[in-house]
Amino acid sequence: MRTENAPVIRLEDYRPTDFLIDKVSLDVVLEPTATRVTAVLAVRGNPAGRPGSPLVLQGDELKLLAISLDGERLAPNRYKADPQGLAIEAPLPEAFTLTIETEINPSANTKLMGLYRSSGIYCTQCEAEGFRRITYFLDRPDVLSVYTTRIEAARDDAPLLLANGNLIERGEIAGTNRHFAVWHDPFPKPSYLFALVGGRLDTLAETFITASGREVEVAIHVEAGKRDRAAYALDALKRSMRWDERVFGREYDLDVFNVVAVSDFNMGAMENKGLNVFNDKYVLASSDTATDADYAGIETVIAHEYFHNWTGNRITCRDWFQLCLKEGLTVFRDQEFSSDERSRPVKRIADVRGLRRQQFAEDSGPLAHPVRPRSYREINNFYTATVYEKGAEIVRMLRVLIGADAFRRGMDLYFAHFDGTAATIEDFLGCFAEASGRDLTHFAQWYEQAGTPVVTAAGHYDPAARSFRLDLTQKTPPTPGQAEKQPMVIPIALGLIGESGRELTLTTAEGNLIENGLFVLDGASASITFTGVDERPVPSLLRGFSAPVKLETDLAEADLFVLFRHDSDGFNQWQASQTLATRFILEAVRGARDDVDARFTEALVHFLDQRAESDPAFAAQVLALPSEADIAREIGRDIDPAAIFDAHMMVKSRIGAALGERLEALYAKLHSSAPYSPDAASAGRRALRNAALSLIAAGDPAAGEKLAGTQFKDADNMTERFGALAVLALIPGSGREEALAAFAARYRDDPLVLDKWFALQASIPEAETLERIKDLMRHPAFSMGNPNRVRALLGSFAMTNATQFNRPDGKGYDLIAETVITLDRRNPQIAARLLTAFRTWRMLEAGRREKAEAALRQVAASPSLSPDVADIAGRSLQ
Ligand code: BES
Ligand code: ZN
């Protein structure tokens, strides 16, 4: 076992390996509790390494059976082996073949890293450091090898045998009940992209013809009996393949592309070359079991993992510090894909909501770190919102700064220069510098400096001079290890809007400061003077959310109303409505308001009249208020989640009451009797209908309960059924309990649907919820061994139920702390993720802060913690 005193790994200590492994030939004999792995490695000295070095391979809980070098058994005095590593003494030949035989127990693998057996299926998860749990290896991303994998298993147990690459041979083992398959992947890859699967699975397959006319078999393999739930994922896969050809000029490169869905999986999905392995939550969908949001999630994750084939696999990362090179870039690509397939402004709004909720929260607490961290103890803890979402924002800013054409040329250069290599952020940025002719040195600071910059903007209109001056400043707060901050390069897309709603032309005194509505703030402050401004303008700043910053403006309420009514930028139009609602809720938290401004509800009615029918998905985003977590972030210190809840509820119910009739009419009008289709337009109408229902219920619980009850009974799809149940869940009484019971009875054999049921109950903002969760932990469908169940019940509680996780008596913290400690023995990665729910504990009011700290200390003091949990607990307390 690794200990909690994991050493610190530093970027500055990077050096190439002393050896390279050009070829790997694996022979895996699958048995539930004693799988044998024979690895034949073609090793040679690395010209960039130190000559005369010993060969040191990593392992993790391995049992070595035999080892030979160039066909000769190695004498015991030539090597040292333990479960965590294998070292062979120098001198070693310039090039040699190493044959290593190990034994592993997939059934006992509860960490779900390496080779494990879950629900009767053998599968692997190797990123980041799981390959070392299969065989001893140079388990790091800059060692690229060509893999050939032979898998052998009992035919009944595992009729389907898959690995990376193309199938080159298969057959029976004469005289036995066993068979084998041999797969070859011609593309050199790092060990973290290795995968194999063995099991009884149903397959949905089709042929895809690439742009250049190559035939590819695309196949999705799912648990027996669920083939018809894989159709949407297969469709999303084909659309992703086409999109990458069209938008980035990237074709698929093997003869087959396999996707396997498994029910026990730590993450969402994994991009192993030619053999993606998915959490079945991101594959399986039917109108009866999946919501529109689930469909959208499947589309995103399928696209994301597919896009990694070029950004991640063909070009991989030199070391794990460069993780955002593949993850941030690939998130950017999947966001663009979804924008093109659905609505761009709605997708942007949803992504920014997510960024603020996850990444801004992370950036403002003890777990803040740069997009490219400088050091880590446990790499699994750095698959964060910062690396992913802020990493994607950096790529987006780059495109805004240099323009779409230069951006595409830069991407082409990146593929041309670095295909087949393990690259760095510098390599990546160099391509865009080359393509655009710009110096990106200062921009690169985005990768190094943690924390969310705060941009303030103040406008001054001079009617006599017909000029408007905009003063901008930026400041980034200190984060762990970074007390002093430098100014960043912040692209600010902007426009000026006249009071009547007219978009004013941008002419600046100094000439060309502004090009295409873009101002680049790259110092601590700047002023822009616009000339020829005939009326007092309202500035629309940070259009499309052009940089991941907090914007503080001096806009009056009246200005925000102008933006809400007239801004041609959809994102900022939505943002204006959110800013107004945020102000009302903040005033209510301070006790300075007990109602909502009638001008706001009137503006909402006006907005619905204009847009509800033409753009329901967008309207649904406007009707969704800022979350309690958004309000907490605005307040920033001495947070009282109960006070925020009350203020939030007040504002929501006043809006619901004021708009009641309009919303009921809308609700009725949006009803559709057409058969369910997951397309964006239909999903938009359902989203608006559910948003209306939620507001109606807030304003008039009796009316809401009645509508929701009927919707729950009559729904022919999960989006409407679950939308209704979510409304009912907030209204205490027998109606709610009956609906919850009916839902559970209907889906008792469907764990993925029961996850929604667990999550919903965990999110009820009532004191009884704690006991409800403890009961649900004993429910037959719940299991601590399944990551999806743990996330649904305990993750939802800790991450979304602000009032109950933050109970004043501290019992919410205690439940999560105890769960983390128990779970850590089984699955450290999932335990560590759950513990990040404490990431903003220092911002709480004193009473809760003290209780949260005590719970964190209890975790930190618990004996034999994994490095994963020890790292999160330690940094959270720093
Ligand atoms: N490479 C990751 C999967 C991964 C994450 C492996 C952490 C090991 C540790 C994969 O490409 C990924 O990013 N998956 C995301 C979903 C995606 C749509 C952002 C995930 O699993 O959450
Ligand atoms: Zn990824």
Instruction: Please give the distance, rounded to the nearest whole angstrom, from the Cα atom of residue 722 to the centre of ligand 1.
Output: 27
Please indicate whether residue 271, judged by its CB atom, sits closer than 6 Å to ligand 1: yes
Atom of ligand 1 nearest to the CA of 380: 9
Query: How many CB atoms neighbour CB 5 within 10 A?
Result: 8
Of 305, 351, 378, the one to substitute when testing ligand 1's pocket (max ligand atoms within 8 A of C-beta) is 305
Please indicate whether residue 327, judged by its CB atom, sits closer than 6 Å to ligand 1: yes
**Angstrom distance (rounded) from CA 701 to CA 793:** 26
Atom of ligand 1 nearest to the CA of 308: 11
Instruction: Please give the distance, rounded to the nearest whole angstrom, from the Cα atom of residue 91 to the centre of ligand 1.
Output: 40
Show the tokens assigned to 520.
């680049």
Please indicate whether residue 308, judged by its CB atom, sits closer than 6 Å to ligand 1: yes
Instruction: Please give the distance, rounded to the nearest whole angstrom, from the Cα atom of residue 383 to the centre of ligand 2.
Output: 9
Atom of ligand 1 nearest to the CA of 829: 9
Residue pair 231/202 in contact by the 8 Å Cβ criterion: no
Which residue has tokens 């082409």?
Answer: 412
Please indicate whether residue 161, judged by its CB atom, sits closer than 6 Å to ligand 1: no
**Angstrom distance (rounded) from CA 813 to CA 827:** 20
Residue nearest to atom 7 of ligand 1 (CA): 383
Please indicate whether residue 4, judged by its CB atom, sits closer than 6 Å to ligand 1: no
**Angstrom distance (rounded) from CA 139 to CA 85:** 11
Q: Is 736 exposed, middle or buried (0-12, 13-18, 19+ CB in 10 A)?
A: buried
**Angstrom distance (rounded) from CA 584 to CA 596:** 7
The size of the chain, in residues, is: 878
- Give how far the C-alpha of residue 241 lies from the chain's centroid of Cα atoms, to the nearest Å: 21
Residue 223 catalytic?
no
Per residue, the 3-state secondary structure of 262-316, as one string, reads ECCCCCCEECCCCEEEEEHHHCCCCCCCCCHHHHHHHHHHHHHHHHCCCECCCEE
Helix (H) or strand (E) holding 455: strand 454-462
Please indicate whether residue 128, judged by its CB atom, sits closer than 6 Å to ligand 1: yes
Predicted confidence at residue 5, as pLDDT, reads: 73
Mean pLDDT for 844-861 is 98
302 has pLDDT over 80: yes
Please indicate whether residue 759, judged by its CB atom, sits closer than 6 Å to ligand 1: no
Residues 396, 397, 402, CA angle at the centre, nearest 5°? 105
Q: What is the DSSP letter of 230?
A: G
Predicted confidence at residue 1, as pLDDT, reads: 43
**Angstrom distance (rounded) from CA 726 to CA 711:** 11
Rounded percentage of the chain residues whose pLDDT exceeds 70: 99
Q: Give residue-wise pLDDT tens across range 334-362.
A: 999 999 999 999 999 999 999 999 999 99
Of 237, 240, 270, the one to substitute when testing ligand 1's pocket (max ligand atoms within 8 A of C-beta) is 270
Atom of ligand 1 nearest to the CA of 305: 11
Query: How many CB atoms neighbour CB 703 within 10 A?
Result: 16
Residue pair 569/518 in contact by the 8 Å Cβ criterion: no
Instruction: Please give the distance, rounded to the nearest whole angstrom, from the Cα atom of residue 306 to the centre of ligand 2.
Output: 9
Predicted confidence at residue 509, as pLDDT, reads: 77
Residues 467, 472, 478, CA angle at the centre, nearest 5°? 175
Instruction: Please give the distance, rounded to the nearest whole angstrom, from the Cα atom of residue 650 to the centre of ligand 1.
Output: 38
Please indicate whether residue 305, judged by its CB atom, sits closer than 6 Å to ligand 1: yes
Query: How many CB atoms neighbour CB 199 within 10 A?
Result: 24
Nearest listed ligand to the Cα of residue 270: 1
Residue pair 497/560 in contact by the 8 Å Cβ criterion: no
Show the tokens assigned to 457.
């903007």
Closest to 104 (Cα-Cα) out of 157, 64, 56: 64
Q: Please name the amino acid found at residue 414.
A: Y
Predicted confidence at residue 2, as pLDDT, reads: 45
Residue nearest to atom 13 of ligand 1 (CA): 327
The three-state secondary structure class of 171 is strand
**Angstrom distance (rounded) from CA 855 to CA 875:** 14
Show the tokens assigned to 692.
């209306």
Nearest listed ligand to the Cα of residue 389: 1
Question: For all residues of the chain together, what is the average pLDDT?
Answer: 97
Please indicate whether residue 301, judged by its CB atom, sits closer than 6 Å to ligand 1: yes
Interacting residues of 516 by C-beta distance below 8 A, sequence separation 6+: none
Helix (H) or strand (E) holding 20: strand 19-29
First-to-last alpha carbon distance for the chain, in angstroms, is 26
Show the tokens assigned to 425.
């952020």
Predicted confidence at residue 49, as pLDDT, reads: 98
Atom of ligand 1 nearest to the CA of 268: 21
Q: Give residue-wise pLDDT tens across range 731-758.
A: 999 999 999 999 999 999 999 999 999 9
826 has pLDDT over 80: yes
Nearest listed ligand to the Cα of residue 338: 1
**Angstrom distance (rounded) from CA 628 to CA 625:** 9
Instruction: Please give the distance, rounded to the nearest whole angstrom, from the Cα atom of residue 194 to the centre of ligand 2.
Output: 15
Closest to 6 (Cα-Cα) out of 381, 559, 440: 381
Atom of ligand 1 nearest to the CA of 334: 18
Instruction: Please give the distance, rounded to the nearest whole angstrom, from the Cα atom of residue 533 to the centre of ligand 2.
Output: 47
* Among 299, 305, 378, 720, the one annotated catalytic: 305
Residue pair 562/538 in contact by the 8 Å Cβ criterion: yes
The backbone region for 397, taken as left when phi is positive above 0, alpha when psi lies in -120 to 50, beta otherwise, is: alpha
Which residue has tokens 């945020």?
Answer: 582
Interacting residues of 660 by C-beta distance below 8 A, sequence separation 6+: 696, 699, 700, 703
Closest to 117 (Cα-Cα) out of 187, 197, 222, 223: 197
**Angstrom distance (rounded) from CA 59 to CA 79:** 14
The three-state secondary structure class of 516 is coil
* Model pTM above 0.85: yes
The backbone region for 6, taken as left when phi is positive above 0, alpha when psi lies in -120 to 50, beta otherwise, is: beta
Q: Give residue-wise pLDDT tens across range 447-499.
A: 999 999 999 999 999 999 999 999 999 999 999 999 999 999 999 999 999 98
Q: What is the DSSP letter of 625?
A: P
Mean pLDDT for 528-555 is 97
Residue pair 101/37 in contact by the 8 Å Cβ criterion: yes
Q: Give residue-wise pLDDT tens across range 677-731.
A: 999 999 999 999 999 999 999 999 999 999 999 999 999 999 999 999 999 999 9
**Angstrom distance (rounded) from CA 125 to CA 271:** 10
Q: Please name the amino acid found at residue 720.
A: E
Nearest listed ligand to the Cα of residue 240: 1
Instruction: Please give the distance, rounded to the nearest whole angstrom, from the Cα atom of residue 876 to the centre of ligand 1.
Output: 23
Q: What share of the chain is helix, strand, coil (3-state, %, to 5)?
A: 45, 25, 35
